[in-house]
Amino acid sequence: MSSKQALKRSIVFFLVPDFTMMAFATALEPLRAANRMLGFEAYRWRLASVDGRPVAASNGVECAVGTSLEQERKLMTGPERPSMVVVCSGIGVENFQSKTALAWLREEHNRGVAIGGLCTGAHILARAGLLANRRCAIHWENLPGFQEAFPKVNVFADLFEVDTNIYTCAGGTASLDMMLKLIGDDFDDTLVNRVCEQFLTDRVRSPTDRQRLPLRARLGVQNSKVLTIIELMEANLTEPLSLVEVAEHVGLSRRQIERLFRQEMGRSPARYYLEIRLDRARHLLLQSSLPVVEVAVACGFVSASHFSKCYRELYARSPQQERAERKQLVAA
């Protein structure tokens, strides 16, 4: 094997219960395709779990693994030492409590091993203390809870982030983009283009491409003034703007804004603003251990009682019941 045909990376995919299958598959498959295009094994991988037992993804499919963390520790100083570890997680990541895994990730990082996180993997990397003063990406649905749990981490709603030897992505098809970036860094754009052709994708998206659909497409709203107002609302959830302040921002009267929202959204601007604040509150309740009163404050409510009343009116259950039902589902 020539120097150009040398192994580039040996990767351990660490599977966390309820990991997202799509994020895992779209991270692994580009490596397989790159090996096929190159005609030699540039990338080698193995799967690991805490105890070496199979791990079920969030879709219920179980994946067998090759090693446990105890075995991975023994491999750290030998020829089978990985050059990269990728944490694959998904829903319920807040409930992953393995101190052994966090310590292992720190050990690997301290030995110069690159560390990655798919979907909600940044949550585990942050708990391991690996994201201090680093940029990272996480799935948009988990962004509110992550920001509250790790206020000192520079998290972005980007597709992926590469900060020195820390790789994080938002999951889904963003794993493909991050791995294509890695393959391009290791080889060249020619190989990346060949892999893209295999997977019927026409380009590698930029890290800063948006995760979610544009508001216009997501809401089915065409009026630019309404879209501007909604963007203002979404950017000011902790300290909500008054309708007067909103009107000053967009150069409309309160009456005009009321009429536009009735036409485009089927409800008043105040009602819509309340709903998106409650939606953020629901994410925080499900993704964090913040007390209900702190969730209320984070979403712009002046009291826990008012927050609970509004929450019950929209979701037909109290914030406490919401959290309790989630814990029962996780336990089951």
Give alpha helix (H) positions in the chain.
Answer: 21-38, 69-75, 99-110, 121-127, 143-149, 174-186, 189-198, 215-219, 224-235, 243-250, 254-265, 269-287, 292-298, 304-315, 319-331
**What's the pLDDT at 217?**
67
User: What pTM did the predictor assign?
Assistant: 0.77
Report the SS3 class of residue 267. coil
Lowest mean pLDDT among 88-102, 136-150, 209-223, 259-273: 209-223
Average model confidence (pLDDT) across the chain: 91
Q: Where are the domains of the chain?
A: 3-198, 215-331
Q: CB-hemisphere CA count at 13 Å for 285? A: 26
**What's the pLDDT at 3?**
44
CA angle, corner 248, sides to 242 and 253, nearest 5? 90
Residues 133-185: pLDDT tens digits? 899 999 888 888 888 889 889 998 889 999 999 999 999 999 999 999 999 99
Share of the chain above pLDDT 90, in %: 72
State the DSSP H helix or E strand holding residue 118, giving kind and residue range, or none if neither.
strand 114-118
**What's the pLDDT at 303?**
92
More reliable by pLDDT, 98 or 213? 98
Question: For the domain 215-331, what is the CATH superfamily, name and number?
Answer: Homeodomain-like (1.10.10.60)
Section 73-97 average pLDDT: 92
CB-based contacts of 207, cutoff 8 Å, min separation 6? 137, 158, 159, 160, 161, 162, 177, 181
Determine the Cα–Cα distance for residues 5 and 287; give it in Å rounded to an integer. 44
The domain defined by 3-198 carries CATH number 3.40.50.880: yes
